[in-house]
Amino acid sequence: MPRYRLDIEYDGSPYAGWQRQAGHHSVQAALEQAIEKFSREVVTIRGAGRTDAGVHAAGQVAHVDLERDWPADTVRDAMNAHLQMAGEAVSVLAASLVPDDFDARFSAIARHYLYRIVNRRAPLALQARKAWWVPKRLDAQAMHAAAQFLVGKHDFTTFRSIQCQAKSPVKTLDRLDVTRDGDAIEIRASARSFLHNQVRSMVGSLKRVGEGGWTEADLRGALEACDRAACGPVAPPDGLYLMKVDYLGALNRPAD
């Protein structure tokens, strides 16, 4: 039974998240329905990251097993044709045959997220639901300096959703950079894996630093408290993007 890797992008706005849910439309369900329509197979697609409702992806990775040995380009093109016909905001960027032991989730060695803030007085029109609009001026340099306290191996209980199912709150954050380009503030986070709502929780707390409500010491104190109540407001899903997932060797692909 051949296994296919799928590289996927999507606008998360219309979906209840990646994961299939009864009574709600999800990215996973949209992809599975597209496969069923062209292959007549009922399948389960496994994704590298279970993005929440409203969260976007430029580089989600998934895998699926099919009974028939289809050409990889046919899988990509047939899925996209059915996704388009259904009006889905999902595109399969690439499909490729991979070894049977490849697992989109468990084979991943790093995940890279981007959070976009548009920091201006005027509300969003073209970027509505694609970024977090923050009208109050933020100090991106202060946000970046404070963010470095979160880099490294820590107990991230403070920045973990109470619904998180991870066995341990201890994670190693490899990167948390904050940069500004005009009105755009970009926050880039990289780690092998993240807790549920971790990135959005960190971004919401960094916003407090940027607007002057918190100091670097306040952010460090929130981390060390290991208490969800110490977290700042959770940033909305609109600005969050899963950009890339890393794998070992030939399975890894360069970022665009």
CA distances 148 to 140, 195, 202, 203, 212, Å, are: 13, 18, 11, 13, 17
pLDDT of residue 163: 86
- 52 has catalytic annotation: yes
Contacts for 165-174: CB closer than 8 Å, 24+ residues apart:
165/196, 166/193, 166/195, 166/196, 169/195, 169/226, 171/195, 171/198, 174/110
b (16+ CB within 10 A) / e for 27-64? bbbbbbbbbeeebeeeeebbbbbbbbbbbbbbbbbbbb
Q: Convert the pLDDT of each residue in 3-36 to its tens digit.
A: 999 999 999 999 999 999 889 999 999 999 999 9
Q: Residue 11 region, left (φ>0) first, then alpha (ψ -120 to 50), else beta? A: beta
User: Contact, 165 vs 198, CB < 8 A?
Assistant: no
What is the rounded average pLDDT for all residues in the chain? 96
User: Contact, 61 vs 47, CB < 8 A?
Assistant: yes
Give SS3 for 136: coil
pLDDT of residue 254: 55
Confidence of residue 256 (pLDDT cuts 50, 70, 90): very low
Structural domains of the chain in order of their starting residue, each with its CATH number: 3-106 (3.30.70.580), 110-244 (3.30.70.660)
Spot the catalytic one: 52, 177, 183, 256: 52
User: Contact, 28 vs 15, CB < 8 A?
Assistant: no
Q: Convert the pLDDT of each residue in 224-236 to its tens digit.
A: 999 999 999 999 9
